Amino acid sequence: MKKETAKKGTFKKGCKFGTHRVISPKGVLPQPADKIDNTMEIYDNEVLIDVKTLNVDSASFTQIEKQAKGNVEEIKKIMKGIVAKAGKHKNPVTGSGGMLIGTVKEVGPKYPHDLKPGDKIATLVSLSLTPLVIKEILAVRPDIDQVDIKGQAILFESGIYAKLPKDLSETLALSVLDVAGAPAQTAKLVKPGDTVVVIGGGGKSGLLCLFEAVKRAGVTGKVICIGGSDKSTERARKLGYGDVFVTGNATDALDIYNIVMKHTNGQLADIVINCVNIENTEMSSILAAKDGGTVYFFSMATSFTKAALGAEGIGKDVNMIIGNGYSKGHAEISIQILRESKAIKKLFEEMYA
């Protein structure tokens, strides 16, 4: 007991937002920082996690895989290099990270939330701000953007998390929690009677958004799914959450505009949700929305500059929402979808579990 008390007395005091970990530049928070301290000795308000799996942000993994030309060993090398340089997994090209699952190893004495050693959790904050050490990469699963590692990570006092549900596999829960902000924001935005367009509707976040859009728009609404390939469009069509299923090129703004014009009788959409993982899709989303409509950019490949100046350039008055990965209750909403929809759960089990 004396030994434990002495150890507790050695904890350094940490900032709620993790600024004590920032190395450069000084004065910024951990996410925009170029480099953070990833020493795995916790401060008094932090949690130490033994990491099992990283779920890399889709835009980030797509970029890394392209850079590595699909070579798994090269993907490992790039990822380890990012962490070695920055102390976190913040892709220098996309600026995005991902999230992780693991087991709580140690909790600081001043940490105010309900976590204890042995708890299995998913962090709901980005890897782009999470102090991380990768000792070894055990497996890479490019088809689902997941990487199994031996390593550790730090959760700040302000960092949100979810205890892993016992009725779902860990990798299945991780894949859904990684995009939990998208269906939760959809649930907030869509009202009965709305016309909703989901661009990238055949992907992971897109399918969850389709489910919520159909649920919220109701029988008087209309939900249009635009997939990036015939395969992804067909995947969404089989699930049946939507009224129109069509394949379109999200980087071709006029292609998307014409599709939406056709299927809305020229009225365009009240809500447009962008779930794609590639660049240059801002104007497709903006053109698909009616004046006074809302565009929700969940994609981490979105450029604020392109969206803002592009909308201005065509005289389009739309509300544009940045895809905040956090929304109150987002973990519960996304997990509940798997419980409500046997079809989505079955598909996700086949794809991710």
Residue 161 has pLDDT above 90, yes or no: yes
Q: Does 185 fall in a domain?
A: yes
pLDDT mean over 195-199: 98
Q: What angle do CA 126, 114, 11 make, to 5 degrees?
A: 80
Same domain? For 62 and 156 the reply is yes
What pLDDT, on the 0 to 100 scale, is given for residue 170? 86
Q: What angle do CA 349, 351, 353 make, to 5 degrees?
A: 45
Return the residue matching tokens 């004495």. Answer: 109
Same domain? For 133 and 246 the reply is no
Q: Does 174 fall in a domain?
A: no
Residue 206 has pLDDT above 70, yes or no: yes
Tally the residues of the chain: 353
Same domain? For 251 and 191 the reply is yes
Q: Does 202 fall in a domain?
A: yes
The C-alpha atoms of residue 148 and residue 100 are separated, in whole angstroms, by: 10
The C-alpha atoms of residue 214 and residue 187 are separated, in whole angstroms, by: 10
What pLDDT, on the 0 to 100 scale, is given for residue 9? 55
Same domain? For 186 and 332 the reply is yes
Same domain? For 130 and 72 the reply is yes
Reported as a single tens digit per residue, the pLDDT across 224-274 is 999 999 999 999 999 999 999 999 999 999 999 999 999 999 999 999 999
CA 89, 91, 97, 101 torsion-angle sign: negative
Q: Does 307 fall in a domain?
A: yes
**How many structural domains does the chain have?**
2
Domain of residue 117, residue span? 2-164
The C-alpha atoms of residue 220 and residue 28 are separated, in whole angstroms, by: 47
Between the CA of residue 93 and those of 3, 22, 89, 222, 337, what are the distances in Å? 46, 20, 12, 36, 32
pLDDT mean over 26-45: 96
Between the CA of residue 134 and those of 61, 95, 131, what are the distances in Å? 16, 19, 10
Q: Does 170 fall in a domain?
A: no
Cross-strand bridge partners of residue 36: 22
CATH number of the domain within which 294 lies: 3.40.50.720
The C-alpha atoms of residue 233 and residue 180 are separated, in whole angstroms, by: 21
CB 182 within 8 Å of CB 273? yes
Same domain? For 334 and 193 the reply is yes
- For 20-36, give the DSSP string: GGEEESTTS-TTT-SEE
Q: How confident is the model at residue 327 (pLDDT cuts 50, 70, 90)?
A: confident
- The residues, any chain, with a CB within 8 Å of residue 143's CB and separated by 6 or more, are 351
Percent of the chain with pLDDT over 70: 97
Per mean pLDDT, which range of 131-145, 167-181, 239-253 is the poorest? 167-181
CB 199 within 8 Å of CB 272? yes
- The residues, any chain, with a CB within 8 Å of residue 132's CB and separated by 6 or more, are 38, 51, 83, 87, 88, 89, 100, 151, 152, 153, 154
Cross-strand bridge partners of residue 140: 147
